[in-house]
Structure 1
Amino acid sequence: MAEQKRLFLLDAYALIFRGYYAFIKNPRINSKGMDTSAIMGFTNSLLDVIRREKPDHLAVAFDNGGSQMRSEAFPAYKANRLETPEAIRIAIPYIHKILEAMHIPIVELEGYEADDLIGTLSVQAEKAGYKTYMVTPDKDFAQLVTDNVVMYKPSRMGNGIEIWDVEKVKEKFEVEDPKQVIDFLGMMGDSVDNIPGLPGVGEKTAKKFLKQYGSLEGLLANTHELKGKMKEKVEANKDLGMLSKELATIMLDCPVEFHEENFELNTPDIEKVTEIFQDLEFRRALENLHRIFKTDANDANSQTVSPEKTTDEVSSGNQQLDMFSVATDDGSKPSESLRGYKTAQQTDHFYQCVDTEFSQKLLLKKLLLQESVCFDTETTSLNTLEAKLVGISFSYEKGKGYYVPLPENDKEANQVLDRFRPFFNDESIEKIGQNLKYDIKVLKNYDIDVKGPLFDTMIAHYLINPDMRHNMEVLSETYLHYTPIPIESLIGKKGKNQASMRDVSLDLLTEYAVEDADITWQLKQVFEPELKKNGLTKLFKDIEIPLVKVLASMEMEGIRLDEKFLQSLSSDLTKDIEHLEHLIYKEADTDFNLASPKQLGVVLFEKLNLIDKPKKTKTGQYATGEEVLSKLAPKHPIVKRILEWRGLVKLKNTYVDALPNEVNKTTQRIHTTYSQTVAATGRLSSNNPNLQNIPIRTERGQQIRKAFVPRDSNYTLLAADYSQIELRLIAEMSGDEEMKSSFIRGEDIHKATAANVFKVPLDEVTREQRSYAKTVNFGIIYGVSAFGLSQQTDLSRSEAKELIETYYETYPTLKSFIAKQIDFARENGYVETLLGRRRYLKNINSRNAVVRSADERNAVNAPIQGSAADIIKIAMINIQDILDSGKYRSKMLLQVHDELVFDVHHDELDILKPIIKETMENAYSMSIPLTVDMGQGSNWLEAH
C-alpha cells in the first residue's frame, strides 16, 4: 500500500506574530538597526517544519485585506486589534522574497483570511487522498480537524511540537466532534478577533452547555431550562450568538484550487536565499538551510587561496582545514562555512607557529617595532581564577599572525612568558583584543601586567551598536563577511570545558588561535573610524577602556563571605517557610503543593472562590503570577501569606543556599564578573553570582548583606552611595530652576516637592505627602501615568492625574525637557547621555502606540540612567588611580548601581574616607552638587 502523501499549509501571520512576540523581551536587531524578530521567528518555524517533517508538498497562506464577508456581517470584527507593529510591517516583503527564493508557493486572495484559504485547500487535498497538516498556533483551526486533517502547533520555549488530531481536539475542548469547536467559539466569543459571543458565557460554561445541548442551536432552543441572569442574557442575545458562530466558522469554499504539482517542495535558489539571509544577517538560518537541503554554501560565495602563496606558508594554515568539519545531525559533514561567508580555507593568509627560543626572540623584536598589536590567549578554562595558559597569538597585519605555544610545565611556561614580558610592559604599544578583561586577568595570574593603551573590539562595538550581540563570530560575519573556525571543531560540541585544548594538535591550534587575533585586528580597523564618526571616541578612551583594568582588579580581589552566618539564616528561613505553609494550609483547609501554579489556582479560585472571573493563562490554567496575587493580597490574608512564602523561598534558594557554592576554594572569596556590554543604558551588569540583585527592601533580604564581610579583623567595609543621583541629573539636564534650587539649598527633595505640589510649608509636609511626592519624582523618570501612579499608591486614578498635572505646573521646565527629549529622538533616532553615550530608539516613530510609548519613556530615562552610570564609572577609575598610586592596602570590591563598596584597612580609613567622598562628588562637574552618603561596618549591611 502506497504511503499517504502529506501537505503542509502554514498560517503566515499567526507564525509571524508568534515569532515577533517570542523575541519581544530581547528583539533581534542587526547591524543596520533593523528589528528582524518577526522575519527570524517565521523563518525559524518554516525551516523547522521542513527539517523535521521533510514534506512532499507545502504552501504558505497570507491574509489579504481581512475577511470581506465577516466585516460586512459585523463591522466591529477584529476592530479592537492594535495597529500592526512596525517590525511586522517591515517583515512581510522580506518573507515574500524568502518564500519566492525558496520556490515555496504563496496562497493569498484579496478579501479572504488565511484560515479560509487553508480550510478550503485542506478539504480539497483530503479528497485528493492527502493528509493535511495546518501549521498554526491558532486554536480556531481545531474545527477543521478530521481523520486526514490535523493541526500542527510548532514548538515553543523548548516544549516541542503538538499534533492535534480528532482525539486531541475532543480532549482539549471536551466535545464529541471537532465541528463543535465552532459552537464553542460562538458561545464564548473570541477577544482576539472581537467576536462577541454570548454575554456571561466563558470557557467553562461553554463546555458545560455543549455537553448538555450539543450545539449553539441546541442551547438556544432550550433556554427555558436555564435560570436567573444567565437565562436573561442568553435569550436577549440569541442573534448575537448566531452571528458569533457565523463569524467563527472557517470558510471551505474560497475561490482557490489545490493542484498538487503547484505545491511540491523544491530545492531553493540558494544564491538568492543566501543574498537575502546575508542582508538580514541570519547566520544560523543560512546554516540550517544548507544542512536541510544538503547544499554547499560555498557554491554561493566561493573564493580561493591565492596561487602565489608558498607551500611553507600554507603548511601551518589551509592544509589543516580539512580537519575542521563539524558533523551534522544526520552524520554528514558540511562545508567549512554553512552560512555563505568566506573561511580561512578560501582566504589568503599566513599563520605561523613560533615554538623555539630563537624564533620567539625574533617575534618579540617585531612586536616591539609596532604601534599596535592584537593578542589573544588560549587557556584551559573560562574561569580566569582556574585558567592555565596554553598559548598566546599575535597579529599586527591583516591575514598574518603568530602563535606561541606554552609548555604545560609551569616553570618552562614562565620562561617563555618572560621573553614576551617586554611587549606586555611596553606602555607605547597599543594592545588590541576582544574582551581584554579576560586576557588581563589570566596574564595577571602569571604576574604579567598589560600596560599601554588598550582597544577592546567588544566594547567598541557595544558603543557603536548597543542592542546587537558582540561576540566575535557575529562581529566577524557581520563586518568582515568571514566565518571563524568554530571551537567545537577542536574540542567537541560541549566547548565550555577548555581543558582539552591541550589535546589539540599544534597545527590546528595555531590556525584557530591566530585566526582569532587576525579577525580582532581587522575588526579594530572597522570600529575605530565608526567610533570617531559617531562621536564616541572620548567615551571609549576616557571611560570604558580605563574601566577594563579597574573591573579586572575588583573581580580578582573578590569579597569574603560569612558562610556560617548564611547556614544559620538558612535554618531560620526554613522555620519561617514551614510556619507560613502551616498557616496557608489551615486557611485553605487542605494540603497542596504551594510551588505548583496549577494546584494553587484550583485552591484559590475554585475551592476558596476568591474572585468571580479569575484570569487564565494561554494553557488554560489559572493565572497566579505575582502581578495577579499582589492585587488580591490587600483583601485576602491567605494571598498575602502566599506572596510572603514565595519571597522567602526565593531568598533561600537563590541567595542564602546558593551563595556559599560560589566561594572560590583557593581564595575563599566570591568573585563576581562585571560586564560592560550587556545593558544598553551603560550600566554594568554582574553575574556568577549577580551581586547587584542582592535584596534590600525586605528585612530578611537585608540580612543577606550581613554575610558579606571584610577580609580579616584588620579591615572594615566602607560603602559610598550617590544620593538621589538620577533626580539631580534630571534637574541638571532639564535646567529646572525650582528643582535645582532645592538641591543647592540641601533640602530633602521629596519633602520640597511635596511642599510645592501640595502648597504647604516645608515643615508641615506629612509623611504621606512626602511618600506621594517621592513616587512621582522617581516615576517621572520612567514616564509614570495616572494609572501607574494609582497602582503604586492608594490614590484614585483621578487624584493621581491631578497630582501629576500639579507636579508639571510646579516644574514646567521639566515638562518641556521631556517633550524636547522625545522630539530629538524622533528626529535623530537616538538620545545621548551627558558624556555622549547613545541609546538608539528604533520604535520612536512607530505607528503602534504601545511600542512607541515604550521608546518615548526610554528617550527620557536612558540619558539620565546612562549619565549616572557614566559618572560612577569615572569615579571608579579615579579612585582606583588613587589606590594604586598611593600603594594603599585598601581595595575597591563591588559596584552596585549607585554604590561602591570598599575593603579598607583600619590604618587607612581616616585618610581614604574623605578622599573617596570627594572623588565621587567631583567625578563630573555640574551646577548642582553631587552628594555621597557613606557608612562603615563589620559587614555590608552595617556599612550600607
Structure 2
Amino acid sequence: MAKPQKKLFLLDAMALIYRAHFAFSKAPRITTRGLNTSAVFGFMNALLEVLNKEKPTHIGVAFDSARKTFRHEQFPMYKATRQSQPEDISVAIPYVKKVIEAMNIPMLIMDGYEADDIIGTLAKRASLAGFEVFMMTPDKDYGQLVEDHIYIYKPAFMGKSAEKLGVSEILERWQIQDISQVTDMLGLMGDSVDNIPGIPGVGEKTAQKLIAEFGSVENLIANANQLKGKLKENVVQFGQQGLLSKQLATIHIDVPVPFDEDALILSEPDKPRLSALLDELEFRQMRRRLLGEDYDGPVPQTAPTQKSTGQMDLFSAPAASTQSKSVAEPTGADDLPFIFDESSATGATAPEPAKPKSRRAKADVAVVVPEASGASATPVPDSPAFLNFEMEEVEWENKPTGPRRTIYSVVHDYRLVDTAELRASLAHYLSLQEAICFDSETTAIDPVEADLVGLAFAYRKGEAFYVPVPPDRQEAQAIVDVFKPVLENPGITKIGQNLKYDLLMLKKYGVEVQGKLFDTMIAHYLIEPEQRHNMDDMARKYLNYEPVSIESLIGRKGPKQATMREVDIEKVVEYAGEDADITLQLRDTFLPQLETNKVTKLFEQVEMPLVQVLADMELEGITVDTNALADLSATLETDMRQVQQEIFQLAGGEFNIGSPKQLGEILFDRLKLDKNAKKTKTGQYATGEEILSKLEEEHEIARKILDFRELIKLKNTYVDALPLLISQRDGRIHTSFNQAVAATGRLSSTNPNLQNIPIRTPRGQEIRKAFVPRSEEYLIMSADYSQIELRIMASFSGDETMLEAFNQGIDIHTSTASKVFRVPLTEVTPDMRRKAKTINFGIIYGISAFGLSQRLKIPRKEAAQIIEDYFVEFPAVKAYMDKSIGQARNCGYAETILGRRRYLRDINSRNMTDRMFAERNAINAPIQGSAADMLKIAMIRIHDYIRENRLKSRMILTVHDEVVFDAHRDELDMLRENVNSIMQTAIPLAVKMETGIGVGKNWLEAH
C-alpha cells in the first residue's frame, strides 16, 4: 500500500500580513474596541484556505528576525528606504503570532535571517526528504527556489484564485531559460522596496534581453564592450553594484537549522485558547468555521505561559510562548532554538476607537427562556400594578475584563402583556414617563411588506414588557390603538434602535410617533462614525453584554427560516424584552458621550428630525413605469447584439466577450494592441476598464467592448431588476435610505441603490425615464444643488476669486481656467475649461499630479505644473488645505460646519501611504460632510413646509445633492419657489448657493 504523500506548507508571515492589511486599507475591519483586525483576518483567511483546500500534512510559519541580517552587513542601506511599518500592522503581528500558537503551528524565526532564508533552507531539505513543498507567499523573489517538488503557492486574492507556480510557470513569468537566472534578473532590475539598487536604466524588459544574450550578470559585465550608448556606460560604471544586488536578492539555503519533520506535523488546535482569541478579535463567523456552531468549550481566564500540548519545536526544545520573553541561548550549530521575537511588537498599542455601520434586524430574534429571575413581589410605586416587584440592583457598566454578561447571568424581569387589562395598565404607566423605549417585532425585514408581531416597551433598567399582536388586522389595530396616545404624546421622548423602521411600521397602523426621538444607532454613528452600529456589537462594547442571537429563535437565513410569529411566545418575550432593555441602557451610555463630542445639537436638530423625514419618504415610494422598462430592456438587447457583431468584425472572428482569457488573446495576441501588455497572476492578460480606456484611441474595439459591458450592466442590474422591487401592497418601489453608513454624513440607499444608477450615458439616462408621477394630476420635480462642494470650498477658504465667480454668476470652471492658463475669460477654450473643471473637483479630494495626468491623459509633468499654477492663483485654497491637515493632526479628526466628525486614525502615521490617505480625508471630509449637513437641513425644512401647508405634493427621493418630488400640478409654482428658497438658505455661508429645479413627466425630463 502506497504511503500518503507528505505535503509541507511554509508560510511567509510578513508578506501575507502586509498583503492582508493593504487589501482592507479602504474598508478596514475595526472591532468594537477600536482594534484594526484587517491584517489578522486576512492572514487567517489565507491560512484556512490552505488547511481546507490543500490538506497539508505538515506546516510552519516563518517570520523575519527583528534584528539586522547579514545583508545589512553587506550593504548598510539594505531596506533603508522602506516606509515605516503601519501602526496597525505593528498591533496585528502579536495577534497573528497568538493565532499561530493557538493553532499549534510552529513559528520559525532566527536572528540574522529573513523568513525567505528560513523557508528556502527548509524547502530544500524537505524536498530531499520526499516532501512536496509549497512556499506560500506573494513575493516574486521566491521563484529562484522553485524546482521539482518545490512550488510557490500564491493564495487567492481580490477575487483571483490561488496559483501554484512550478518551474515552467517561473520561466515563463521571467522569460528566462533557467531558474538560476531569477537572481540575475533581480540583480539587474534592483528592488525599490528593499532598496536594492540594481543597474540604473535597466527595467524588466531590458533585463530579459540582456540575460537572454549574456546568461548572467557576471557574463554581462565581462562583455560590456559589446553594448552601446548609455546602457554600456551604466553596465561599466555600475556593474559591481549589479553583482552586489544579485547577492542581496539571493535567498540563502544554508541557514543553520536542521529539518525535523515531526515538529512540523499539522496538529489539532488548542480549542479553548483559540476560542478566547477569536472572541477577543470578534471573528464570530471564523469561530464557527474553525470550532463549529456548537463549540462551547472552556475559555482560559489567563493565557498559559507555555504551550500546553507538549509539541516540540524544530530543535527538540519546548516551543516558546508569546508570554515568555526569556530565550535559551544557542549551544551549537545543531541546537539553535527557533524563538518568538517580541522586539518587533514592543510598545505597540491598540489604535484609538474607530467607527461603524448596522443594527439588530427587526425580523431577527433569538433566545432560550431562562429560569425564573427570582424577582420578589414588593410593590414599586412607578411600576404597573401587575408588575410590582423589587429587583436586585444590577451593575451594567462596561467591564472589559471578566466574563461577558448574558440574559442568563443578569437579573431581569421581562413580562408578557397579553390581556386587555394588562395592556391598559401598561399604557397608563407608560403615559407617566418622561421617556420610553420601544421596539417592534415583525414578520420581515422590509417594513413596507412586513406585518406587526408585537411591541416591546421599557422605561427602567432591567425590566421590559412585551405586547403580542395577532395576525388579524382588525384585532391588531385595536391593540395598537391602546398605545397610540402614548406613542403620539409629544411630551414623551421615544427611544429605539433604528427608529425609522419602527416609525414606518406604526405609520401603517395609523400611528404618527411624536415627541423627541433618541435613536441609539444614530447616536453611536455620530460618536463613532466608522464602527458597527448594530445593537449586539454596541452591547458588547459598552455594556459588556452578549445579547441573544436571532438565529437561535428563527434559524439561519434561507427558505426554512421561521418568522417571529412562529416562535414560542415565551422566547419572544425574552428576546424582545432584551431588545428594549438593552437599547434603553445604551441611550443612557450615549447621552453624555454626545455632549463630550459636542454633537448633541447635530443629533437633536438634524439627525433625529431627519428620521421622520426619511420614514415618510420610504413609505411614499415612487411609481415605476414597467412598460417603459420592458421597452428599454428590449432596446438594450438589440443594442447588445449589434455591438457584439461589431466587436466580432473588428476582432476578425467570434469569441466569448465575457471571458477575460479569450478577450486578452484577441486584444494582445491577435490584434497586438499593446506590446507591453502585462498578464495577471493567473497568467491571463488584464482587461479591466482602466486598461481598455487607455486603448480607446489605439483601436475602436476597446470602446466597443466598454459599450458592451455597460449595456449588460444596465440591463441586468437595473432595467430587469427594478420591476422585481415593486411592492405588492401598493405597486410602488420603496427604496431604503441609510442614515448611518457613510462616515461623511451623506445618505445612501439600497433596494434599489439610487446613487449608482448610471446617468453619464444616453442609455443609462433612459432608466430615469421609468420613474414617473403617481397619477396624471402630478409631475416629477427635481431640485439639485449646483456645484455645492466647490461653493463650500470657496466659503471655507475665503478665496476671493472663487467667491467673486460664484457670487457674480461667472462660470467657475471658466474663471479657474482664466487664472491657471493666464488668459482673459473670453479666450478660455473648451479644452482649458475641461482641464480646469477636472482640477476644481479633484482639488477637493487632494488630487495628485499622477491622478490628474491620468484623468486628463496628459504627461505627469504637465499635470504637476497645472496644480502648481492653480495654487499660485488660489493661495487661499492651499492655505485652507494646509490648515485642515494641521488641525486634523492636532486633534485626530476633521469636522464639518455643524460639528460632524470624521476620525482619521492614520493622520500621524509613519507610513506615507496611510498618512496621505488620511490627509486627503482631512481636506475633503469637512466639505463633503458640510454638503450633507446642508442637504439634510433643507430636507427637514421642506418636509415641515409640506406638512404645515397640508400640500398634496410629496418629497419621495434624494440622490447625492438632489431631491425629487411627486408634485401636484396645482402646487408647482408655490413648491418650486419655496424649495428653492429653503435649499439656498439652509446653512448661511459667504457664498451664494444655487439650485437647478426642473419639472417633467418623468425623472429624466425633470433632471
- Note whether the superposition's TM-score is higher than 0.5: yes
Q: Could you say if the C-alpha distance between residues 357 and 151 of structure 1 is closer, same or farther in structure 2, counting changes exceeding 3 Å? A: farther
Q: Which residue of 2 aligns with 1:23?
A: 24
Secondary structure of 1:373's match? strand
Q: Does residue 1:667 correspond to 2:668, yes or no?
A: no
**Equivalences for residues 777-788 of structure 1 within 5 A:** 777-788=840-851
For the 8 Å contact 2:272–2:299, the answer to whether it is kept is no
Q: Could you say if the C-alpha distance between residues 128 and 283 of structure 1 is closer, same or farther in structure 2, counting changes exceeding 3 Å? A: same
| CA displacement 1:779-832 (0-9 Å, x = unmatched) | 211112333333333654444333323322222222111100000011111010
Q: Does residue 1:830 correspond to 2:831, yes or no?
A: no
**Equivalences for residues 445-844 of structure 1 within 5 A:** 445-494=508-557, 500-793=563-856, 795-844=858-907
CA distance in 2: counterparts of 1:420 and 1:705, whole angstroms: 41
| CA displacement 1:587-615 (0-9 Å, x = unmatched) | 22121111222211111111111122112
Secondary structure of 1:394's match? strand
Letter of the 1:649 counterpart: I
| CA displacement 1:897-924 (0-9 Å, x = unmatched) | 1111111111111221111111111111
| CA displacement 1:537-583 (0-9 Å, x = unmatched) | 11111111111111111111111122222222222223332222222
CA distance in 2: counterparts of 1:292 and 1:152, whole angstroms: 30
Letter of the 2:627 counterpart: K
Farther off after superposition, 411-420 or 27-36? 27-36
For the 8 Å contact 2:769–2:1003, the answer to whether it is kept is yes
In the TM superposition, residue 27 of structure 1 has moved relative to its aligned partner by 0.7
Q: Does residue 1:14 correspond to 2:41, yes or no?
A: no
CA distance in 1: counterparts of 2:510 and 2:145, whole angstroms: 71
Q: Could you say if the C-alpha distance between residues 494 and 31 of structure 1 is closer, same or farther in structure 2, counting changes exceeding 3 Å? A: closer
For the 8 Å contact 1:290–1:297, the answer to whether it is kept is no
**Equivalences for residues 289-438 of structure 1 within 5 A:** 291=292, 296=297, 300=301, 341-438=404-501
TM-score between both structures, scaled by the size of structure 1: 0.86
CA distance in 2: counterparts of 1:241 and 1:613, whole angstroms: 25
**Higher share of residues assigned helix:** 1
Farther off after superposition, 201-210 or 290-299? 201-210
- Number of residue pairs matched by the alignment: 917
| CA displacement 1:80-127 (0-9 Å, x = unmatched) | 755433322332244345556776543222321112212333455567
Q: Could you say if the C-alpha distance between residues 10 and 294 of structure 1 is closer, same or farther in structure 2, counting changes exceeding 3 Å? A: farther
Farther off after superposition, 151-160 or 418-427? 151-160
| CA displacement 1:469-508 (0-9 Å, x = unmatched) | 2222222222222222211111221168865322211112
Q: Which residue of 2 aligns with 1:90?
A: 91
CA distance in 1: counterparts of 2:134 and 2:679, whole angstroms: 28
Q: Does residue 1:117 correspond to 2:118, yes or no?
A: yes
For the 8 Å contact 1:487–1:495, the answer to whether it is kept is no
For the 8 Å contact 2:673–2:698, the answer to whether it is kept is no
Segments of structure 1 that go 5 or more residues without pairing to the other structure are 315-338
Q: Does residue 1:893 correspond to 2:894, yes or no?
A: no
| CA displacement 1:149-194 (0-9 Å, x = unmatched) | 6666555557776677899989999999988977897899878767
**Equivalences for residues 864-875 of structure 1 within 5 A:** 864-875=927-938
For the 8 Å contact 1:274–1:340, the answer to whether it is kept is no
Q: Could you say if the C-alpha distance between residues 777 and 165 of structure 1 is closer, same or farther in structure 2, counting changes exceeding 3 Å? A: closer
CA distance in 2: counterparts of 1:416 and 1:655, whole angstroms: 41
RMSD: 4.3
| CA displacement 1:404-448 (0-9 Å, x = unmatched) | 111122222222212222221122222211111111111222222
Secondary structure of 2:687's match? coil
CA distance in 2: counterparts of 1:233 and 1:860, whole angstroms: 44
Farther off after superposition, 235-244 or 867-876? 235-244
Secondary structure of 1:344's match? coil
Farther off after superposition, 486-495 or 864-873? 486-495
Letter of the 1:117 counterpart: I
For the 8 Å contact 1:390–1:406, the answer to whether it is kept is yes
Q: Could you say if the C-alpha distance between residues 155 and 645 of structure 1 is closer, same or farther in structure 2, counting changes exceeding 3 Å? A: closer
Q: Does residue 1:854 correspond to 2:917, yes or no?
A: yes
Q: Could you say if the C-alpha distance between residues 46 and 399 of structure 1 is closer, same or farther in structure 2, counting changes exceeding 3 Å? A: farther
Q: Which residue of 2 aligns with 1:63?
A: 64
Segments of structure 2 that go 5 or more residues without pairing to the other structure are 303-367, 378-401
**Equivalences for residues 152-301 of structure 1 within 5 A:** 154=155, 156=157, 249-258=250-259, 280-284=281-285, 291=292, 296=297, 300=301
In the TM superposition, residue 681 of structure 1 has moved relative to its aligned partner by 0.6
Aligned identity (percent) is: 52
In the TM superposition, residue 292 of structure 1 has moved relative to its aligned partner by 10
CA distance in 1: counterparts of 2:931 and 2:925, whole angstroms: 10
Q: Which residue of 1 aligns with 2:311?
A: none
CA distance in 2: counterparts of 1:687 and 1:779, whole angstroms: 27
TM-score between both structures, scaled by the size of structure 2: 0.81
CA distance in 2: counterparts of 1:920 and 1:768, whole angstroms: 32
In the TM superposition, residue 195 of structure 1 has moved relative to its aligned partner by 7.2
CA distance in 1: counterparts of 2:491 and 2:559, whole angstroms: 35
Secondary structure of 1:391's match? strand
Q: Could you say if the C-alpha distance between residues 722 and 175 of structure 1 is closer, same or farther in structure 2, counting changes exceeding 3 Å? A: closer
Secondary structure of 2:972's match? helix
CA distance in 1: counterparts of 2:245 and 2:675, whole angstroms: 24
Farther off after superposition, 271-280 or 387-396? 271-280
CA distance in 1: counterparts of 2:766 and 2:711, whole angstroms: 12
In the TM superposition, residue 716 of structure 1 has moved relative to its aligned partner by 0.9
For the 8 Å contact 1:62–1:114, the answer to whether it is kept is yes
CA distance in 2: counterparts of 1:122 and 1:809, whole angstroms: 58
Farther off after superposition, 394-403 or 711-720? 394-403
Farther off after superposition, 404-413 or 133-142? 133-142
CA distance in 2: counterparts of 1:811 and 1:236, whole angstroms: 46
Farther off after superposition, 560-569 or 713-722? 560-569
CA distance in 2: counterparts of 1:642 and 1:496, whole angstroms: 39
Farther off after superposition, 147-156 or 409-418? 147-156
For the 8 Å contact 2:11–2:60, the answer to whether it is kept is yes
Farther off after superposition, 633-642 or 339-348? 339-348
CA distance in 2: counterparts of 1:22 and 1:786, whole angstroms: 24
| CA displacement 1:365-421 (0-9 Å, x = unmatched) | 222222222221111111112101111222222322122111122222222212222
**Equivalences for residues 24-39 of structure 1 within 5 A:** 24-39=25-40
Q: Could you say if the C-alpha distance between residues 610 and 677 of structure 1 is closer, same or farther in structure 2, counting changes exceeding 3 Å? A: same
CA distance in 2: counterparts of 1:428 and 1:587, whole angstroms: 72
Farther off after superposition, 865-874 or 396-405? 396-405
Farther off after superposition, 455-464 or 650-659? 650-659
CA distance in 2: counterparts of 1:467 and 1:310, whole angstroms: 37
For the 8 Å contact 2:275–2:299, the answer to whether it is kept is no
Farther off after superposition, 812-821 or 397-406? 397-406
Letter of the 2:856 counterpart: T
CA distance in 2: counterparts of 1:98 and 1:870, whole angstroms: 43
